[in-house]
Amino acid sequence: MNAVESTAPRSPRLREEPPAPARAPLRRRLYWTAHDSLVLTERTLRLTTRIPELLVFSIIQPVMFVLLFRYVFGGAIHIGNSVSYVNFLMAGIFVQTVAFGGVTTGVGLAHDLDSGLIDRYRSLPMSHFAVVLGRTAADLVRNVFTVVVMFAVGFAVGFRPLGSPTDWLAAAALLLLLSFTFSWIGACVGLAVRNVEAVQSAGFIWLLPLTFTSSAFVPSATMPNGIRQFSEAQPVSQIVDAVRAWTLGQPVGSHGAVAVAWCVGILVVFMPLAARLFKRAGGKV
């Protein structure tokens, strides 16, 4: 126990209180954060195998989008002669699927808050940051699986990627970064909104317009003034354009760098925000 009275008070506060136990060195803290995150990643992934319905439904939705856009809207959308619509479409589908995956992160956290599990985590001598990190990491793994399935679905409906293997690696890396980034946004929504159903809605209401008002399904150039500028500038378009260029073997231009910058910028804001919201999570429900 560290209840040794300080004989030489350095500040009035310390006069009657024992010094706080020294915090563990940074390297040690990082080690345990990684350790605890892995334990919780494993738990979340195990959960996914226990409730396969969740995974199945999270795949049905993007599959429906592929079929709808490929066979219902696609015929009316002309994006020029050089690229088939299905080849144009799939980059948008990948990005939207991964972005929507972030909602799952928030729903999962809200569920753990509701069930009291987060209270238990918070009462343990573990890294609290790991509770969110573990889940975003698990959702990253889940998203890899989802994107692979979407690739197969796309291939079945005529998607024929043209890029080189290096391009493909770059596209995959950006999608992973996107998954991680949007999971942290989702985590903040989950921790702030807390109610499972409300998190579900709150997670989508901003994602739907953001992904549709982008170059995901139609070229931004066809949009009216105002909306077009918004679509061209916003991060989803930048990411879609980069992924599309890489999957189709076209020059990526500045899109890749801008997309990465957006993701890093969002993470810089939302990771500390999630940590703060988590600290607050002990307050009244």
Partner 1 sequence: MSTHNGGQPAILAEGLHKRFGDTRALAGLDLSVGAGEVLGLLGPNGAGKTTAVRILSTLLAPDAGRARVAGLDVVRDAAAVRARIGLTGQYTAVDQHLTGRENLEMFGRLYHLPRATARRRADELLERFGLTDAATRPAKTYSGGMNRRLDLAASLIVEPPVLFLDEPTTGLDPRSRIAMWDLIVELVAAGTTLLLTTQYLDEADQLAHRIAVLDAGRVIAEGTSDELKRQVGGERIELTVARGASLPDAERILREHSHGDVHVDPDTRLLAAQTDGGARSLADVVRDLDDAHVQLDDIGLRRPTLDDVFLALTGHGAQAPEGTGAPAGTQAPGDPPASADTQVPVGTRPETGAQ
Query: Which range, of 74-82, 96-104, 116-124, 199-207, touches partner 1 by CB under 8 A?
Result: 116-124
Among 116, 165, 224, 226, binds partner 1 (CB under 8 A): 116
Cβ atoms of 109 and 135 within 8 Å: the answer is yes
CA–CA separation, 279 and 1 (whole Å): 25
Please say which residue, 61 or 115, places its beta carbon nearer to partner 1.
Answer: 115
Neighbour count for residue 158 (Cβ, 10 Å): 14
CA–CA separation, 111 and 114 (whole Å): 5
| DSSP SS3 for 48 | helix
Among 64, 124, 152, 169, binds partner 1 (CB under 8 A): 124
Buried b (16+ CB within 10 A) or exposed e, 29-51: eeeebeebbeebbeebbeebeee
Query: Which range, of 81-89, 124-132, 177-185, 202-210, touches partner 1 by CB under 8 A?
Result: 124-132
9 binds partner 1 (CB under 8 A): no
Taking each helix axis as running N to C, give the angle between helix 165-193 and helix 235-248, from 0 to 180 degrees, rounded to the nearest 10: 150
Query: Which range, of 29-37, 160-168, 221-229, 268-276, touches partner 1 by CB under 8 A?
Result: 29-37
12 binds partner 1 (CB under 8 A): no
The contact set with partner 1 (CB under 8 A) reads 1-5, 16-18, 20-21, 23, 32, 35-36, 39-40, 42-43, 46-47, 50-51, 115-117, 119-126, 282-285
